[in-house]
Structure 1
Amino acid sequence: MLAAGPAAILGGLTAAQSGGLRGFSDRVVHLLLPASCRRAPLPQGVLAHRTTQLSDRDVVAVAQPPRTVAARSIVDAAQWASSDEQARAIVAAAFQQRLVGGHDLHEVVDRMPRLRRRRLILATATDAAGGAHSCGELDFMRLVRRAGLPEPIRQKVRQDSAGRHRYLDAYFEEWQVHVEIDGGQHLDPAHAWADMKRQNDLWVEGDRVLRFPTWALRAHPDEVLAQLRAALRAAGWPG
């Protein structure tokens, strides 16, 4: 930042990580500068981005080093991401980790008419605000909509037999069909047993429970949809 000059602030993924975002290992230091700002050559590993849209509301009032606020940081991180998949993961993680919420990202996007990945960021933020907090859940929602199936409730709270709150990834409440999207953490034995106990509680109550690994949503979408349709029809969905 000293090399870039007094107008430079941390931006994008670097600012988001400084604000608490976890789970991303990008070692590039991202700086944000006004478009008219001149700067000296930067050290290796530092990347400067220029912008014409940077208001006081986009900058943390008191932060050292200076950085953009969470919503602006996430939007910039998503537009500067190396792939659409990484951009979606960043947005979903920000909601999951409670760094942003509601329409925070929409308000930032509305002020940035030339934003890269505009539609992707808005769609992901809308789904994440509605409760889909992982890329697997977002992929599942896209499949459901593309197939014309009824839309489930996301992250519905239920109580297990011990009275603890559990969050269901996707719940077709009218037909009592519950879908869990399993990421890599579900392969861990402790997680696996916790998942089994939760599933058993749901089965005892009468729900139909389907489980899909995240990779199957991309590799075998037709098989996933076929099983979901079969479960909904068996539960009384007219199709």
Structure 2
Amino acid sequence: MVGRDGDIGTRVGGMHRWRFDDPVLARARALGEAQGGALGRRQAYSLGMPRWLIVREVKQGRWRRVTSQVVAVHCGPMTDDGHRWAAVLSGGPRAVLDGAASLQASGLERFRSPSVRVSVPRGARIRRTRAYDIRQTRRWAAGDVADAPGTPRTRPAVAAVRAGLWARTDKEASLVVTMAVQQSVARVEDVARELLRVRRDKRRLLLHALVNDLLDGVRSLGELDVARELRRRGLPEPSRQHLRRDSRGRYVLDLYWPELGLVVEIDGIHHQWAENVVADALRQNALALAGDTVLRLPLLGLRLAPDEFYDQIARAIADRRPLAA
């Protein structure tokens, strides 16, 4: 039986009734399940579901309301993927995940953002919800949307830059951009290009410096910065780019105090790459077997926790000075 709205149902005792196994309901559940359990009201209407039927499913406890524009096709907890879909569906037809939420949808792991950020164009109608962070942005552009399956979202390089710009602190900004590059969610060269599009922002210079570190294009500058800071703190001057030989050949030490047997290795992003992990470990073990103390200073550490790293260097110098005497 086809109802007045063109919907398939049954007529019992002169009343139009829906069975829970009707084809339209089945299609709606299938679409919602493919979206982490989230189903937009517009999507349901396009499948032929009348408004009253959505209300009935919610009242009877089979579905539940998430926002004014989204229902869950179950009554259990929403998954992260479900929340991301619900956020986009709540934002309207041109809404896309942005920032850290977009990176997470693209595969970023071990990073937790305080909210799901969704961007819509300037002038778009927004139905406010406390559940998700839906905002108009002048940065919205159709060319920034990822051509990828899954939740509508910005391209990873665009998302990485915006996650850095919108982070709560400089530390969080550095962390999310670095993690996106380390986990191969975004290529650092692409992030660098997208960052050039940013003309004004209070965090722009910080991100430029960070991306340069990730590109490993300022390796020598990092060594000069460390040596300058050590001098400012009244610590002895190290030997830079000191050449050493071992049974495997020769290698260069970034900062070395021969009289103290102390080595500080400055690690760029390339030290995290798989092909360098073994070589770095062998080199550090060789130095330890020769009696040297080796401290590692990641360039990211200069951004996030400089005092802690410099305090460790100062302590190592103080502990080993009696040995040199």
Distance 1:220 1:14, change over 3 A: closer
| Residue 165 of structure 1: aligned partner | none
| Residue 210 of structure 1: aligned partner | 294
Question: CA separation in 2, counterparts of 1:115 and 1:212?
Answer: 32
User: Does residue 6 of the first structure (1) align with residue 90 of the second (2)?
Assistant: no
User: Does residue 45 of the first structure (1) align with residue 131 of the second (2)?
Assistant: yes
CA contact (8 A) 1:199 1:209 kept: no
One of 271, 280, 286 as aligned partner of 1:201: 286
User: Does residue 19 of the first structure (1) align with residue 103 of the second (2)?
Assistant: no
Stretches of structure 2 lacking an aligned partner (at least 5 in a row): 1-87, 232-236, 242-246, 268-279, 321-325
Q: Please provide the CA RMSD for this pair.
A: 4.3
Question: CA separation in 2, counterparts of 1:8 and 1:130?
Answer: 35
User: Does residue 105 of the first structure (1) align with residue 191 of the second (2)?
Assistant: yes
Cα deviation code 1:100-157 (max 9, x no counterpart): 234322211222223341011111111022199xxxxxx998645645889989xxxx
| Cα displacement (A) at 1:15 | 0.3
Q: Which moved more, 1:51-60 or 1:114-123?
A: 51-60
Distance 1:40 1:13, change over 3 A: same
| Cα displacement (A) at 1:209 | 4.5
| Cα displacement (A) at 1:49 | 3.0
Distance 1:69 1:26, change over 3 A: same
Query: What SS does the aligned partner of 1:2 have?
Result: helix
Distance 1:171 1:14, change over 3 A: farther
Stretches of structure 1 lacking an aligned partner (at least 5 in a row): 133-138, 154-159, 162-167, 182-194, 232-239
Q: Which one-letter code corresponds to 1:22 in the other structure? A: E
| Cα displacement (A) at 1:179 | 2.3
Q: Which one-letter code corresponds to 2:165 in the other structure? A: Q
Distance 1:116 1:67, change over 3 A: farther
Question: CA separation in 1, counterparts of 2:238 and 2:122?
Answer: 46
Query: What SS does the aligned partner of 1:3 have?
Result: helix
Query: What SS does the aligned partner of 1:32 have?
Result: strand
CA contact (8 A) 1:15 1:73 kept: yes
**1:1-239 mapped onto 2 (5 Å cutoff):** 1-42=88-129, 44-130=130-216, 143-144=226-227, 146-147=229-230, 171-172=253-254, 177=263, 179=265, 199-204=284-289, 208-211=292-295, 217-219=306-308, 221=310, 224=313
Instruction: Output the TM-score relative to the length of structure 2.
Output: 0.49
Q: Which one-letter code corresponds to 1:172 in the other structure? A: D
Query: What SS does the aligned partner of 1:103 have?
Result: helix
CA contact (8 A) 2:92 2:126 kept: yes
Provide the identity percentage: 26
Q: Which moved more, 1:217-226 or 1:92-101?
A: 217-226
CA contact (8 A) 1:8 1:32 kept: yes
CA contact (8 A) 1:95 1:129 kept: no
Distance 1:225 1:104, change over 3 A: farther
CA contact (8 A) 2:94 2:120 kept: yes
Distance 1:175 1:225, change over 3 A: closer
Distance 1:67 1:121, change over 3 A: same
Q: Which stretches of structure 1, 4 residues or more, deviate above 6 A after TM superposition?
A: 148-153, 173-176, 195-198, 213-216
Question: CA separation in 2, counterparts of 1:29 and 1:220?
Answer: 33
CA contact (8 A) 2:238 2:257 kept: no
Q: Which one-letter code corresponds to 1:200 in the other structure? A: N
Question: CA separation in 2, counterparts of 1:91 and 1:69?
Answer: 14
Q: Which one-letter code corresponds to 1:210 in the other structure? A: V
CA contact (8 A) 1:179 1:211 kept: yes
Cα deviation code 1:165-214 (max 9, x no counterpart): xxx9x952899945278xxxxxxxxxxxxx9876333445x695422587
Q: Which one-letter code corresponds to 1:129 in the other structure? A: L
Query: What SS does the aligned partner of 1:75 have?
Result: helix
Distance 1:150 1:64, change over 3 A: farther
Distance 1:152 1:26, change over 3 A: farther
